[in-house]
């Protein structure tokens, strides 16, 4: 019979925080496996030391690299994947021989732990069980001695290795935070906390629960003294004595784009900004795509009052609110970023902070659904004549087509406005060959998604409505029928 694999969580470092079950399983095991760097030392093994017994086999799984470069053809990820595969094979040999194998994991086995790489490779072949452990987040929170989350507050756990923009977006959310994987990333994380206005609220904890534990406010920490086994916690504002001392409490307007429709195409940065807001402002239809958290105020309005909506948002922010103005797609493409900026340019609003967070545009969503028709120079033109004359629209279309640009057409038609799309058909007949590639994307990413690839000759204006985006290809745009799926692309080179 095969042996059993155990993923054993050891807790944050204090041997007395090892659970009773973990201690028993460690003592009963035939093989004790642990990961380590090239120096061969293992914190996990030292934590488990009181529960080890004579005669057990120790499998030292030594990382081939940590932060140094590698000549592996797959780079760092490839080198580590090979290492995990080889390590799993070593453990499989013991399991095939009927031995019980314990893989030691600091903290919890499935919380930023190397054990998970063994589990994924072995769980389909062998009986595997996980013993959870006290996480470093819990230990650090206990060390700080301030309640981490209370009531409806939420906790976000971030790796310090994340990109600065992603860190800042999550930090601005106002949530309780735990930031792990420090060491070399400490300065980046500290700077992100400062940019997000959360630095004064943040606590640094090093080697939590051990006799070398160190707790300081992040503002007082020397970056040169920070080891990898450290983290930062930002308790929820309800109990944090330093919450609200920074500029994070100042009002501001953030204009965000939800993307073209699917929740998967709303960026994490946008989601974090929405979560951080005290007030959500926007067109009723777009706000229906957002689930407000308890306590958020929602201000919906008609789609034809952009300037009034912008002024309302700025007024809320001037009184201390953190306002998110919601747009569909990208807020800077025929959307609310321009409307808010126009109003915010007036002297009375110069003291109100305004930020714009990008989103996936409808043009790029439709282009991606077809392939890469915007792979070379392109233009974006709206056919709506609410804010510009028909003569301007036609002039711009003529010049874009004459310049041989691919053109993404926004607002092509509505139930009451069809003359512009009919005129587009007439211009295409006049200006481009009959076989010019035309793409129609309707409700892309939504339940009614339909992407049609046709030609200038086959283009039917009657099939276009306000939920459709049209892309007119350039002279080099090519539609290729393929058994694995058709592709439309505009080559990057141009003769």
- The string of DSSP codes covering 96-127 is HTT--EEEEESB-TTSS-THHHHHHHHTTTS-
Q: Which two tokens stand for residue 347?
A: 């002297």
- The CATH-assigned architecture of domain 137-234 is 2-Layer Sandwich (3.30)
Is domain 250-357 in CATH 3.40.1010.10, yes or no?
yes
Q: Higher-confidence residue: 150 or 52? A: 52
User: Are the beta carbons of 18 and 10 closer than 8 angstroms?
Assistant: yes
For residues 336 and 293, is the Cβ–Cβ distance under 8 A? Answer: no
Q: Distance (Å, rounded) from C-alpha 189 to C-alpha 164? A: 8
Chain segment 350-394, per-residue pLDDT in tens: 999 999 999 999 999 999 999 999 999 999 999 999 889 999 999
pLDDT at 247: 46
- Of 166, 267, 179, 265, nearest to 218 by C-alpha is 179
| CATH 3.30.160.40, domain 5-132, yes or no | no
Taking only the tens place, the pLDDT of each residue in 200-239 is 999 999 999 999 999 999 999 999 999 988 999 999 876 6
DSSP single-letter state for residue 343: H
Question: From CA 396, how far away is CA 385, in angstroms rounded?
Answer: 13
Residues of the chain with CATH 3.30.950.10: 137-234, 363-489
Angle between helices 186-195 and 164-171 (to 10 degrees): 50
Nearest to 300 by CA among 326, 277, 275: 326
**How does residue 431 score in pLDDT terms, banded at 50, 70 and 90?**
very high
First to last CA, the chain: 68
Within 13 Å and on the Cβ side, how many CA atoms surround 17?
22
Q: Which whole number is the average pLDDT over 104-132?
A: 96
Which top CATH class is 363-489?
alpha beta
* Confidence band for 416, pLDDT divided at 50, 70 and 90: confident
Delimiting residues of CATH 3.40.1010.10 domain(s) in the chain: 5-132, 250-357
pLDDT at 97 over 50: yes
């Amino acid at each position: 019979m095969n042996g059993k694999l155990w993923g054993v969580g050891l807790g944050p470092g204090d041997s007395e925080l090892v659970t009773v079950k973990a201690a028993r399983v460690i003592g009963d095991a035939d093989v004790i496996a642990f990961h380590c760097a090239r120096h061969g030392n293992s914190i996990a093994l030292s934590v488990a030391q009181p529960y080890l017994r004579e005669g057990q086999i120790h499998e030292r799984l030594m990382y081939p690299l940590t932060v140094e470069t590698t000549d592996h053809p797959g780079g760092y990820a490839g080198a580590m994947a090979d290492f995990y595969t080889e390590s799993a094979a070593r453990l499989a040999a013991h399991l095939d021989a009927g031995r019980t194998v314990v893989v030691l994991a600091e903290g919890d086995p499935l919380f930023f732990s190397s054990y998970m790489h063994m589990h994924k490779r072995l769980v389909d072949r062998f009986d595997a069980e996980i013993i959870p452990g006290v996480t470093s987040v819990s230990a650090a929170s206990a060390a700080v001695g301030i309640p981490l989350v209370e009531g409806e507050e939420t906790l976000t756990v971030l790796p310090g290795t994340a990109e600065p923009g992603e860190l800042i977006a999550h930090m601005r959310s106002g949530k309780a935070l735990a930031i792990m994987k420090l060491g070399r990333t400490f300065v980046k994380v500290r700077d992100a906390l400062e940019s997000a206005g959360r630095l004064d609220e943040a606590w640094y904890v090093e080697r939590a629960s051990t006799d070398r534990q160190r707790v300081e406010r992040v503002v007082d920490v020397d970056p040169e003294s920070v080891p990898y086994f450290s983290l930062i916690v930002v308790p929820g504002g309800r109990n944090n004595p330093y919450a609200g001392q920074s500029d994070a409490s100042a009002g501001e307007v953030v204009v965000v784009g939800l993307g073209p429709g699917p929740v998967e195409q709303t960026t994490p940065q946008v989601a974090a900004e929405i979560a951080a807001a005290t007030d959500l402002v926007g067109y009723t239809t777009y706000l229906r795509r957002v689930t407000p958290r308890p306590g958020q105020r929602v201000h919906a309005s008609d789609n034809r009052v952009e300037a009034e909506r912008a002024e309302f948002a700025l007024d809320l922010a001037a009184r201390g609110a953190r306002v998110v103005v919601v747009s569909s797609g990208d807020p800077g493409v025929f959307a609310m970023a321009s409307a808010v900026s126009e109003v915010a340019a007036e002297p009375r609003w110069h003291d109100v902070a305004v930020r714009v967070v990008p989103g996936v545009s409808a043009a790029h969503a439709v282009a991606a659904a077809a392939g890469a028709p915007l792979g070379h120079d392109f233009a974006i033109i709206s056919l709506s004549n609410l804010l510009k004359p028909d003569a301007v629209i036609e002039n711009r279309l003529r010049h874009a087509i004459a310049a041989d640009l691919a053109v993404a057409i926004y607002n092509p038609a509505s139930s009451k406005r069809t003359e512009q799309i009919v005129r587009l058909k007439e211009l295409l007949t006049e200006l481009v060959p009959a076989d010019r590639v035309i793409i129609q994307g309707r409700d892309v990413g939504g339940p009614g998604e339909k992407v049609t690839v046709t030609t200038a000759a086959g283009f039917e204006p009657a099939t276009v409505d306000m939920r459709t985006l049209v892309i007119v290809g350039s002279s080099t745009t090519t539609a290729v029928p393929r058994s694995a799926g058709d592709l439309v692309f505009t080559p990057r080179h141009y003769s």
